[in-house]
Amino acid sequence: MQLFKSVFGRLWAIWALSTFTASFFIILLPSLLTWLIPDPKGQDLFVKIARIWMRFWLTIIGCRIVLKGKENYKKGEVYIVTCNHNSLLDPPLSSPFIQGPNKTIAKSDFDKVPLFKWYYRKGGLLVDRKSEESRKRSYEEMKEVLRKGIHMCIYPEGTRNRTNEP
């Protein structure tokens, strides 16, 4: 049974990574075109594209989506949403399903990944956690995002939590 789980797990991971990459290239151009639309409408469209992408991708890899708490969002209000960060999938899975336009705060390392960096620059604020200047700048950028009526999605752990504690 362990051998089956190991083989199946690896095959599923290859399938998931392959379909993630292929679907990313499909949505990349429409996502980049949202840069041409002023915020918050451009960001809202960007999030809607990401939501369609994530729904499609999660469906084809066999993951069920359950959204809870949508009733807590009030139209016209701006929120700072905090999420746990237990896996690499947490930001791309949580952010698209927050009601309304939103941005995440992400480490600046994502700026080094070709093509993906443009997606991350639109969907989030990049911060170099080692640089005090970068941290201060990201704080000011977050205030500006909120002023524009765009929610901020943050992961207070700052990195993936590798413990059993929330």
Q: Any idea which residue has 């690896």 for tokens?
A: 10
Six-digit token string for 35 = 């840069």
CB neighbours of residue 155 within 10 Å? 22
Instruction: Classify strands 151-154 and 80-82 as parallel, antiparallel or unpaired.
Output: parallel
Element (H, E) at 53: helix 41-60
Tens of pLDDT, residues 104-139: 888 888 888 887 888 888 888 999 988 999 999 999
Tens of pLDDT, residues 15-53: 999 999 999 999 999 999 999 999 999 999 999 999 999
Q: Is the dihedral of CA 98, 70, 83, 85 positive or negative?
A: negative
pLDDT above 70 as % of the chain: 95
CB of 19 within 8 A of CB of 64?
A: no
The mean pLDDT value of the chain amounts to 87
Spell out the domain ranges in the chain: 2-154
**Residue 135 to residues 17, 125, 128, Cα–Cα distance (Å):** 32, 10, 7
Q: Which of 129, 83, 123 is nearest to 102 (CA)?
A: 123
Question: Which residues, other chains included, contact 156 with Cβ-Cβ below 8 Å and sequence gap of 6+?
Answer: 82
Q: At residue 96, does pLDDT exceed 80? A: yes
Question: Which residues, other chains included, contact 123 with Cβ-Cβ below 8 Å and sequence gap of 6+?
Answer: 46, 47, 50, 95, 103, 104
